[in-house]
């Protein structure tokens, strides 16, 4: 193949190929000889809040540098001080991707970009690019509310956090995931850039170019002002940044009339909440296994466990399940819901809220321990104190029945980062946060790309087919099922349900196993496919059902795979299928039902067997989506200190390529030869044309040429 490409180098062949290529693909074959495009890369992008920009960006035309693979401290010195070919494009293994190395690069002008090979080899004991105090400024604790607890003074929740995700890098940082492409880079480096006995390598050198130019700068205030200006005056407004936004998912055991907003008379709800998103240093690369999936899975399993009992013996209070989106970015989802509740724009208001149980990180229980966190400041209120005490006592007795060691924490410790804090900002609601950590997080990879299935100890015995893995009950699944049972029974009890029904509520470890498999290993599995609409499953890899686990970064509004984040969509449909009732409506009736006040209707694929694709049917369930966009954007307060102001910058292209660069001498030689040829030809042509009548006059003919 290469031989053939060589042939096309010059001449007519080239023309023919061009003619062909213009009809087939618009990419020149010369470019293919020069560049190796790296397709499976993940960039770090720029995010902005009211005061800062974080993330990375390249220059407009991409940043180029000579490749150097960082393998030892010696290499670091070569890159930052002695190497003769700056700027360098650094390729590093996971082991070097830490704060000290990255900050040394940030402060050096000899670094034009970084590519991190994301792999598990050489992974440090712990790595969290998040801050030590997540959502520090938008929680409940502040100078006016428990000032001694503010800024994680009592407990640094994420002490391993190095804050890398919140640094602003002026060079691009990419993650390389594909093993083959890493191999290409390594080969190119070893062939051209390897130092021989400490001396500098000779040209041509292997180089890499990264494109990730970001349109937005400074902060959200600046960027939104520029966007608004453009919207007002430009015919083709160019948006610089978009607010991070998606949807919360909520449901309730008794359907609530969604068309009537504001206070619901005679309605008292127990909120069961968890978060729906996570993040990492890189864009759309957030597995968030312990950070988020453990909570989602537990709550979904609890919803499923509660379903039959709440139908047969409904408790006096309603149970309101909600999954908050965008909590990693200063509580986008919960602040929006609270904001809507305050303004009577949500289906219930704060007066309807009886109490709240939030599920935090529950996946890494060492010795089956769980802890109930509560807010010491609101406990000074006696009614809240009573309710919380009742709640903890109830949960404790249920946990004892399940042989789970559940402990209440002393009242000097504040709440961990949780959605409950946003409720407490407006009202002292009795609430608990269930978590597997007593003080700081057990999660050693909080909000990083390594918080994946392995971190959660979800692994399968070898030789299992995907369908067998799907239903394989790992230890983790059994453990989370226990937690889900505890959550479900506690909620039922909290909602005023009778004691004798409690033993009928048990979470199914099989469901937990399936959920874990879908959220951590492979979203495109037979179970998820049967729960989703047929149009999603038919689209296959182009839709939200691509291969691999889903990612939990919230992202911005309109996506190329549809208006709703894939995880939100999964949770919505899983909930609908777990709690809903199958109806015999046709597809059109299902999509346009007579009344949507109490229920939503979902057209789902249905379980398929080996030889049939399943029979789609209509499911009716009180599962809803609610917009999760920070109120700061609704109120146009882009510098808000109370609400999340995170936006994601827009960009034109994100790509990476590897190629060789020629030495300066060769370039100058080429130019010199070119100029010489031009001058020589000018002189010769002038000379010949001035003497043309002499030269081209034949003795036998009359002069014909008059050049």
Partner 1 sequence: MTLAVFFGCAFIAFGPAFSLFVFTIVKDPLRIIILIAGAFFWLLSLLLSSLVWFIAVKACNGVQDPTLHRALLIFGVFFSVLLQEVFRFAYYRLLRKANEGLASISDEDGLDISVRQMAYVAGLGFGIMSGAFSMINILSDSLGPGTVGIFGDSQYYFVTAALMTLALTLLHTFWGVVFFEGCEKSRWWVIAAVVALHLLVAGLSLLNPLYEASLPPVYGITLLMAVWAFFSSGGSLHNLNTLCTRRKAEEESAQ
**Could you list the residues that contact partner 1 (CB under 8 A)?**
1-4, 6-16, 18-20, 23, 28, 30-31, 33-36, 64, 188, 204, 206-207, 209, 657-662, 664, 666-675, 677-678, 681-682, 684-686, 689, 691, 694-699, 701, 703-707
CB of 706 to partner 1, least distance (A): 7
Whichever of 407 and 675 has its CB closer to partner 1, that residue is 675
Structure tokens at 347: 């289906």
Whichever of 192 and 493 has its CB closer to partner 1, that residue is 192
CB of 42 to partner 1, least distance (A): 23
CB of 40 to partner 1, least distance (A): 18
Nearest-10 Cα torsion for 299, 303, 309, 312: 150
Asked if residue 138 lies in contact with residue 642, where contact means CB atoms within 8 angstroms, the answer is yes
Q: Which residues contact 690 (CB under 8 A, 6 or more apart)?
A: none
Whichever of 9 and 109 has its CB closer to partner 1, that residue is 9
Whichever of 181 and 572 has its CB closer to partner 1, that residue is 181
Number of neighbours of residue 35 by Cβ within 10 angstroms: 13
Nearest-10 Cα torsion for 585, 588, 592, 596: 20
Measuring CA to CA, how many Å separate 590 from each of 472, 616, 682?
A: 34, 11, 80
Beta bridge partners of residue 600, listed in sequence order: 621
Measuring CA to CA, how many Å separate 413 from each of 156, 373, 393, 430?
A: 11, 8, 19, 16
Whichever of 3 and 120 has its CB closer to partner 1, that residue is 3
CB of 24 to partner 1, least distance (A): 9
CB of 694 to partner 1, least distance (A): 5
Structure tokens at 30: 């010369």
Asked if residue 518 lies in contact with residue 528, where contact means CB atoms within 8 angstroms, the answer is yes
Where do the DSSP E strands lie in 295-368?
A: 318-324, 353-359
CB of 84 to partner 1, least distance (A): 16
Whichever of 24 and 196 has its CB closer to partner 1, that residue is 24
Nearest-10 Cα torsion for 387, 441, 455, 324: 50
Whichever of 30 and 260 has its CB closer to partner 1, that residue is 30
Structure tokens at 648: 């994601």
CA distance 315 to 189: 67
677, burial (CB in 10 Å: exposed 0-12, middle 13-18, buried 19+): exposed
CA distance 570 to 146: 38
Whichever of 13 and 598 has its CB closer to partner 1, that residue is 13
Q: Report phi then psi at 258, rounded to 5.
A: -75, -20
Whichever of 37 and 454 has its CB closer to partner 1, that residue is 37
Q: Which residues contact 20 (CB under 8 A, 6 or more apart)?
A: none
Asked if residue 474 lies in contact with residue 510, where contact means CB atoms within 8 angstroms, the answer is no
CB of 338 to partner 1, least distance (A): 51
561, burial (CB in 10 Å: exposed 0-12, middle 13-18, buried 19+): middle
CB of 94 to partner 1, least distance (A): 26
CB of 41 to partner 1, least distance (A): 17
CB of 211 to partner 1, least distance (A): 12
CA distance 239 to 233: 13
Whichever of 453 and 661 has its CB closer to partner 1, that residue is 661
Whichever of 95 and 692 has its CB closer to partner 1, that residue is 692
Shortest CA distance to 50 belongs to which of 625, 698, 630? 630
CA distance 315 to 272: 15
CB of 12 to partner 1, least distance (A): 5
CB of 419 to partner 1, least distance (A): 48
Where do the DSSP E strands lie in 352-510?
A: 353-359, 369-373, 405-408, 431-435
Whichever of 212 and 227 has its CB closer to partner 1, that residue is 212
């Amino acid at each position: 193949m290469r031989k053939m490409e060589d042939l096309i180098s010059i001449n007519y062949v080239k023309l023919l190929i061009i003619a062909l290529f213009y009809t087939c693909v618009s990419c020149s074959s010369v470019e293919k000889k020069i560049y190796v495009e790296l397709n499976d890369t993940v960039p770090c992008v720029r995010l902005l809040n009211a005061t800062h920009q974080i993330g990375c960006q390249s220059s407009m035309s991409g940043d180029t540098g000579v490749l150097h693979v960082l393998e030892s401290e010696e290499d670091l010195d070569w890159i930052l001080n002695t190497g003769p070919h700056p700027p360098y494009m650094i390729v590093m293994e996971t082991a070097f991707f830490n704060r000290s190395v990255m900050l040394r690069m940030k402060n050096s002008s000899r670094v034009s970009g970084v590519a991190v090979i994301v792999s598990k080899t050489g992974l440090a004991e712990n790595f969290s690019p998040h801050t030590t105090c997540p959502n520090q400024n938008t929680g409940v604790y502040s100078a006016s509310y428990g000032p001694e607890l503010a800024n994680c003074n009592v407990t640094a929740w994420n002490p391993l956090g190095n804050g890398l995700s919140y640094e602003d890098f002026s060079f691009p940082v990419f993650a390389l995931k594909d093993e083959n492409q890493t191999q290409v880079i390594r080969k190119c480096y070893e062939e051209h850039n390897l130092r021989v006995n400490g001396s500098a390598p000779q040209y041509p050198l292997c180089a890499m170019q990264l494109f990730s130019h970001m349109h937005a700068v400074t902060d959200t205030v600046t960027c939104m002002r520029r966007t608004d200006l453009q919207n007002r005056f430009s015919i083709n407004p160019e948006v610089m940044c978009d607010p991070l936004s998606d949807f919360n998912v909520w449901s309730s055991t008794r359907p609530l009339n969604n068309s009537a907003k504001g206070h619901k008379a005679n309605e008292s709800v127990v909120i069961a909440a968890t978060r729906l998103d996570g993040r990492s240093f890189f864009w759309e690369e957030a597995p968030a296994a312990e950070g988020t999936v453990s909570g989602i899975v537990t709550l979904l399993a609890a919803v499923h466990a509660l379903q039959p009992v709440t139908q047969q013996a409904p408790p006096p209070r309603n149970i309101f399940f909600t999954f908050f989106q965008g909590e990693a970015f200063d509580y986008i989802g919960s602040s929006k819901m609270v904001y809507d509740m305050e303004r009577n724009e949500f289906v219930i208001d704060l007066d309807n809220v009886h109490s709240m149980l939030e599920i935090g990180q529950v996946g890494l229980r060492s010795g089956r321990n769980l802890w109930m966190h509560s807010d010491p400041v609101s406990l000074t209120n006696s009614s809240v104190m009573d309710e919380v005490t009742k709640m903890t006592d109830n949960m404790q007795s249920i946990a004892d029945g399940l042989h789970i060691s559940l402990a209440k924490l002393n009242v000097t410790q504040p709440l961990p980062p949780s959605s409950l804090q946003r409720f407490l900002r407006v009202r002292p609601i009795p609430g608990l946060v269930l978590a597997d950590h007593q003080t700081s997080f057990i999660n050693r990879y909080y909000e990083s790309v390594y918080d994946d299935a392995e971190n959660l100890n979800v692994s399968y015995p070898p030789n299992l087919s995907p369908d067998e893995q799907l239903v394989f009950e790992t230890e983790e699944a059994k453990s989370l099922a226990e937690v889900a049972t505890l959550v479900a029974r506690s909620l039922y009890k909290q909602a005023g349900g009778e004691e004798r029904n409690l033993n009928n509520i048990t979470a199914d470890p099989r469901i937990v196993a399936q959920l874990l498999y879908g959220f951590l290993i492979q979203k495109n599995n037979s179970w998820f496919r049967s729960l989703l609409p047929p149009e999603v499953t038919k689209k296959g890899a182009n839709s939200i059902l691509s291969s691999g686990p889903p990612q939990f970064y919230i992202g911005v509004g309109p996506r190329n795979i549809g208006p709703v984040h894939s995880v939100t969509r999964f949770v919505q449909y899983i909930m609908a299928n777990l709690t809903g009732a199958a109806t015999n409506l046709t597809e059109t009736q299902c999509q346009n039902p007579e009344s949507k006040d109490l229920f939503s209707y979902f057209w789902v694929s249905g379980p398929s067997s080996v030889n049939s694709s399943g029979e789609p049917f209509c499911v009716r369930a009180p599962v809803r989506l609610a917009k999760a966009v920070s109120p700061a954007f609704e109120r146009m307060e882009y510098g808000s200190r109370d609400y999340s102001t995170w936006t994601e910058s827009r960009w034109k292209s994100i790509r990476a390529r590897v190629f060789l660069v020629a030495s300066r001498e060769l370039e100058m030689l080429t130019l010199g030869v070119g100029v010489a040829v031009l001058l020589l030809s000018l002189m010769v042509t002038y000379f010949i044309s001035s003497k043309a009548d002499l030269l081209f006059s034949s003795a036998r003919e009359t002069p014909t040429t008059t050049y």
